[in-house]
Amino acid sequence: MPGASLLTARELATIPLSLRTLAKAIADTSKPLKTIATLLLELDCRLGTGNYNGTLGSTLLPLISALLDPSRMPPEPSDSPSSSSTFRDQLLCASRAILVFSSCPASTIRSQTSTLWPTRIWPWLELMDNYDCFPDDCEAACGRCLMLTALYPMVQLPRSPSVKTLFRTPGFATFLVHMWKRIICTWTEYSAKRSSRDRRPERNISPPVLLTPFLQCCFEFTDIVDELVEGAGGMDALAALLFQHIQLIHRDGEALFVDESDLNLALFGECVQSMDVAKNFVDYLGNSKPSAWVALVGTGYFGLAADMFTAFTTSTTNHPPRSVLAAWQYLQHIIGLLPHVDSERLVTAVGRDFVLACRMCGSNVFAQGIQTVEEFAPLDFVLSFVAQATCDYRSLCDMADSLLMALKFDESPKHPSAPAIWTGWSEFKTLIQSRLQLLEEFESKDISSNRACSNIECPLLKVPKSELRKCACCHLALYCSTDCQKSSWKTYGHRSLCHSATPGTKTDHRDARFRFFITLREYQANKTTILLQQLAYIKRTGDTEFCVVMQYTSGRCTPAVVALASKAKIWESHPSVAWEADEGRKELHVVRFHAGGGESREIALALRRSTSAVLEGLVAVAEEIPEGMDVMQLAVTEPVLFERVRALAGLDLVETYEGDANWK
């Protein structure tokens, strides 16, 4: 005989006929808890397979709310919760009720989470977590995974206020860490028990993938990450957990590149998202806690990143547009790691496969009919990255083979419908040819074998490197004697240079020398133009303290002469080059790389001359130029004066490098 009902007759009448009988049976308080739990699972399955409108959620809310009423919470068990069948059955009913709520239409979840979460859902979850009891006897034999599946829609809905509701709940971060640890530890067993025919195919997602959006949401709240670190047991423990998380997703994703006909695009996107979680973790904590990078490096994270990058670039499948976008996100993420970590495996993988990946993505874009530059914005990113990366000796060496391959690529004849996308490809190939030629010249002349003493006042400008000693701290400055090192430390900011050369920002000697070598070659190619710009500046201002900005945009160098004060910020960051020009024998430079999107990166260089004749000659010529004359047209208006400038351009600079090569 039916007992009391959790629903009134009016509430029951609002439920669709196809579900009314089932809802009535669930609301019958005389039925055993195990039976009610089974009926709730059936209701959840019907919601997932039926075609119900948006009003369904509001009609089921009274039933869900009644099942999750705190007054129904079981008392603390006298013995182990796992041995108390009544306790487990009550928790099982609650977990199934939460699952039913997650199956409601999105509009219901969005509007009702803030009401049900604090008074109905969270108290039950907290109870389950306290007793580590997430009962479940359905096909998915992991109760925590089931709960994670139920919470998943609450953080997936666009602009959902439920995200804030969840993450602002006291204790939720601790709950999330417990969930994370348990799922990572039990995923292998869970995966083995999963049925090949899941009742809810759309929920057939691995738990690590389900966890990813929760972890991404953590970085929207300043206090949550610190709680995660504490709950995980410290920085190293959290880094290890992150690595295991990414590794499991990557392991699931290995099929992406084994059987290309069954490429799982969604899973590749999740791999990208999971790697971003780790990057966000480091970016968030890196400034205040540098140990975040150290901890992540120790897990093997960067080696895994290299493996994924190589796997994608060696796949020959014509990826659909979403896959191309996911690949580009991952590509940019991987490249973003390079300045922060010394991982030979990662650098080698990127250097070997980068251009191949670019071309492959481009070909697949064309195959899918994407024809506008806006839809393939990453090409600008390619040009900017290669222009910067090929200024580093090691990066250029790693990329040499793939760059040579790029020279053989056709530009756009096969894709006449989208010529704008590859407009810059010719410039790209010109840049590649130039850099490879410079690499050959650099290695043949062994530029790094001769250096100058890093003490600015030292007259030794060309000394065999073997006769110089490297600073043990920054690995950048070279000195011919301890006296020169002491002088530079006290007078010219070497102390600040050493302190700024923190782990992750140090530049290898050959990288620094090659970067200078490239800049000097650009300087020599544009030397007459630069001297005319310097002459115009002296004539206009009467000032001989200036700096030359060598700006690279898409690989093309455009020099300009600007006031020294206009670069005050970078001189503050590079105290070792922030001195006044002494007798015209030092010329300050800023090398500026335009990285797209308004972002720029700058380094400071100082060219040292063996004579002050250049600056003195420019001052003398400036005094003879009539007022109001366009100095840049000097070759036409004053050919005699122009020849004097050309003669000054013939005076060589001393090839040396002095300054902090850290990116700023």
The pLDDT value recorded for residue 437 is 85
3-class secondary-structure state, position 472: coil
571, two tokens: 């001189």
Alpha-carbon span 241 to 235, nearest angstrom:
10
The pLDDT value recorded for residue 264 is 47
Alpha-carbon span 270 to 256, nearest angstrom:
12
Regions of the chain short of the pLDDT cut 50: 1, 137-141, 194-204, 254-265, 361-378, 412-421, 501-506, 575-576, 578-584, 595-598, 655-664
Place of tokens 């544009």: 526
- Alpha helices by DSSP H, listed for 202-264, are 207-218, 222-232, 235-253, 255-258
DSSP classification of residue 448: G
**Amino acid, single-letter form, for residue 289:** K
Alpha-carbon span 211 to 207, nearest angstrom:
6
Which distant-in-sequence residues (6+ apart) come within 8 Å of 277 by Cβ? 212, 215, 216, 242, 245, 246
The pLDDT value recorded for residue 372 is 41
Closest to 320 measured CA to CA, from 269, 396, 286: 269
C-alpha radius of gyration, the chain, whole number = 33
Alpha-carbon span 152 to 106, nearest angstrom:
12
**Residue 250 to residues 271, 304, 306, 309: CA-CA distances in angstroms?**
6, 8, 12, 11
587 close to 546: Cβ distance less than 8 angstroms: no
Closest to 392 measured CA to CA, from 450, 424, 352, 351: 351
Neighbours of 356 (CB within 10 A): 16
* DSSP state string for 517-545: HHHHHHHHHTHHHHHHHHHHHHHHH----
505 close to 511: Cβ distance less than 8 angstroms: no
3-class secondary-structure state, position 650: coil
Q: Where are the domains of the chain?
A: 510-654
The pLDDT value recorded for residue 587 is 66
Would strands 599-609 and 586-596 be described as parallel, antiparallel, or unpaired? antiparallel
409, two tokens: 């690529």
Cβ-count burial of 280 within 10 angstroms (0-12 exposed, 13-18 middle, 19+ buried)? Answer: middle
**Residue 511 to residues 16, 50, 219, 431, 559: CA-CA distances in angstroms?**
71, 63, 35, 18, 22
57, two tokens: 């959620």
